[in-house]
Amino acid sequence: MPDRVLTAAGDGLAKQNLLAARGGCIGNAEVVDLMGLADASIVDRWRDHRQIVSVRDDAGEWVYPVWQFVRKHKRIMLGIRDCLAELPFESESEPLIFFLSCMEFLGGHSPLDCLRSGKIEAAIKAARQYGWRKST
């Protein structure tokens, strides 16, 4: 579990803070443009198959944190999909909480920090531990 947990469940302000963290979020159309995709159905498939971090905003629209995209290469950051595959989803905010929470296990860094610095295996291991601890 994160040592310093960001919470979003039942707290509108906390959820807004999560959505605004590390550059904010973008909608389907912006993801299509950013990634050079043919249409939004690709983004929908990614979301449905847990291949991309997504959450509903206050208006009920799906939004996507910009920190997961590598703009230069038009792809999702390496390790995001692997971590998502290991995470339990008790709420749609769970991946945001996981990726942005600092963890002692990671030297006080967040899984996102690890992915950005190329420590993909460390982030995946953290996702496994996070999932394991959530299930006990």
The owner of tokens 């299930």 is: 135
Q: What is the rounded distance in angstroms from the CA atom of residue 19 to the CA atom of residue 82?
A: 21
Q: Give the domain range for residue 94.
A: 12-135
pLDDT tens per residue across span 70-117: 988 889 999 999 999 999 888 888 899 999 999 998 999 999 999 999
**Beta strand pairing status for 55-56 and 25-26?**
unpaired
pLDDT above 90 (res 10): no
The predicted model gives 15-31 an average pLDDT of 83
Is 34 among the domain residues? Answer: yes
**Token reading at 114:** 């690890």
pLDDT at 57: 87
Is 1 among the domain residues? Answer: no
Is 4 among the domain residues? Answer: no
Q: Is there a contact between 92 and 56 (Cβ–Cβ < 8 Å)?
A: yes
Is 109 among the domain residues? Answer: yes
Nearest to 34 by CA among 62, 75, 63: 75
Grade residue 20 by pLDDT with cuts at 50, 70 and 90: confident
Is 99 among the domain residues? Answer: yes
Is 5 among the domain residues? Answer: no
Amino acid at 8: A
Q: Is there a contact between 65 and 96 (Cβ–Cβ < 8 Å)?
A: yes
Grade residue 16 by pLDDT with cuts at 50, 70 and 90: confident
- Model pTM greater than 0.95? no
Backbone angles phi, psi at 73, to 5 degrees: -100, 0
pLDDT at 69: 95
Instruction: Count Cβ atoms below 10 Å from residue 71 Cβ, excluding itself.
Output: 9
Is 93 among the domain residues? Answer: yes
Q: How many domains does the chain have?
A: 1
Is 3 among the domain residues? Answer: no
pLDDT above 70 (res 4): no
